[in-house]
Structure 1
């Protein structure tokens, strides 16, 4: 178990941004519990990307005693009254999506990872991504399958060169543009993982022979939320952390 104060201290350390980051995170304690309650023991915490009627219903059904949200901006005052609400937007993106994320590197069997920073934003201390080497090189087909399995789907794949050539060096970025494609090529990568394909970057990728896997922003966020739930349970034995997912937006269209 953990108290709300202990859970907040864990999240504050896990999702901290550099002091000189250009964007500050939202308040971690988005809404306090009625009457305080930060010293009360927690048994169940819910984690969601954003609030919706479905998520609100799941939080009630799972008897969540607090709710963590990645995007708390649409919360109404009468949403889950009395429940303390926690939030992180920029910090979550920086640590648990496609920035410098050693957990994703481990999941995809990458070693010797290094952070990458945007050449066009030299004063930004937050890495835009990372570069690393595959422990065991694999073909494009095998690599695409591994990424698809890890993130439970894929939006788009654009392969360049010989599909039988081994994938050795990989770049993972939370953005895609010609400047970052050039950075990937400079660092010796032949394949690039990101959230969303950008039309302006296609031609640059073709010219430099960089294959691109666009996983989908929400799939990446879901991966990060599942990872955070696991870390919470590891840090606080006896505390159940449950992810509360609405349908993927692509499934709703």
Structure 2
């Protein structure tokens, strides 16, 4: 099949509408963050716009990169020095566009990180909680009956052993989840009726709240839980615009 190309501006407009980016008060700009060449034939997706991802994208001839974690975060040093200079220099020299979508990619009902994590783990979503309804609620498949069995499923599907706070023998009940660094939403998940809550990271207070509430907690990895939304979005773009797409996973133990 002959591959075509899509205009940079056309892709930015489509993604902005599809992900409803104006809905969110986010910690960074969503959309086109670095302007590259006008036409895009090959798109690379990844979790974070690290220098390693940029170099890997160059190796496969990418015209644009789409990530969940881009640049220009609120509160960051705004100077173009050090790590930021090296990343931006590489993008600009090679005329590669960078698209980044943070909360909109967490939230989306089809391509979102929470939606895609549910598909990876076989969850059936049936509710939401938290600000912007960012957290998801649901149930696992009938063959996953305990918290310990859920932890084993996470390890198998995500290729990462989760840190479990709680009794592995505890019956599952209702599951709450939110990918990435959403451990601070455990209280809202408990209020929404979750008996086990999953996210990417863990903080010291998370352990006490989990133990004292009786709601088990699984820290499944920030990177590990957020690999799937950007892949799904990239595949959708490739199919819609008939362009090449490649997801590149830069390993991250966090």
- When normalised by structure 1's length, the TM-score is 0.76
Separation (CA, whole Å) in 1 of partners of 2:65 and 2:252: 20
Of residues 116, 126, 132, the one that matches 2:129 is: 116
Q: Residue in 2 aligned with 1:245?
A: 249
Q: Residue in 1 aligned with 2:201?
A: 196
Separation (CA, whole Å) in 2 of partners of 1:88 and 1:63: 22
Of residues 7, 14, 18, the one that matches 2:11 is: 7
Contact 2:201 2:219 in 1 (8 A): yes
Separation (CA, whole Å) in 2 of partners of 1:16 and 1:159: 37
Separation (CA, whole Å) in 1 of partners of 2:198 and 2:253: 20
In proportion to residue count, which structure has more helix? 2
Of residues 198, 209, 214, the one that matches 2:214 is: 209
Of residues 20, 34, 40, the one that matches 1:16 is: 20
Q: Residue in 1 aligned with 2:115?
A: 102
Deviations, residues 60-111 of structure 1 (Å, cap 9, x unaligned): 2111121223323433245343223222234334449xx8833332332222
**Residue 167 in structure 1 maps to residue 197 in structure 2:** no
- When normalised by structure 2's length, the TM-score is 0.76
Distance 1:142-1:93 versus aligned 2 partners, 3 A rule: same
Of residues 91, 107, 112, the one that matches 2:104 is: 91
Separation (CA, whole Å) in 1 of partners of 2:234 and 2:45: 7
Contact 1:25 1:90 in 2 (8 A): no
Contact 1:47 1:229 in 2 (8 A): yes
Separation (CA, whole Å) in 2 of partners of 1:24 and 1:214: 22
**Mind listing any 5+ residue stretches in structure 2 that lack a counterpart?**
73-83
Contact 1:233 1:239 in 2 (8 A): yes
Deviations, residues 99-148 of structure 1 (Å, cap 9, x unaligned): 8833332332222521101xxxxxx4x22301112241423332112222
SS at match of 2:227: helix
Deviation at 1:31, TM superposition (A): 2.6
**Residue 184 in structure 1 maps to residue 194 in structure 2:** no
Distance 1:78-1:184 versus aligned 2 partners, 3 A rule: closer
Aligned length: 230
Contact 1:47 1:244 in 2 (8 A): yes
Deviations, residues 189-233 of structure 1 (Å, cap 9, x unaligned): 221101111211212211221111101112222233223223323
Contact 1:17 1:24 in 2 (8 A): no
* Greater alpha carbon shift after TM alignment, 57-66 vs 107-116: 107-116
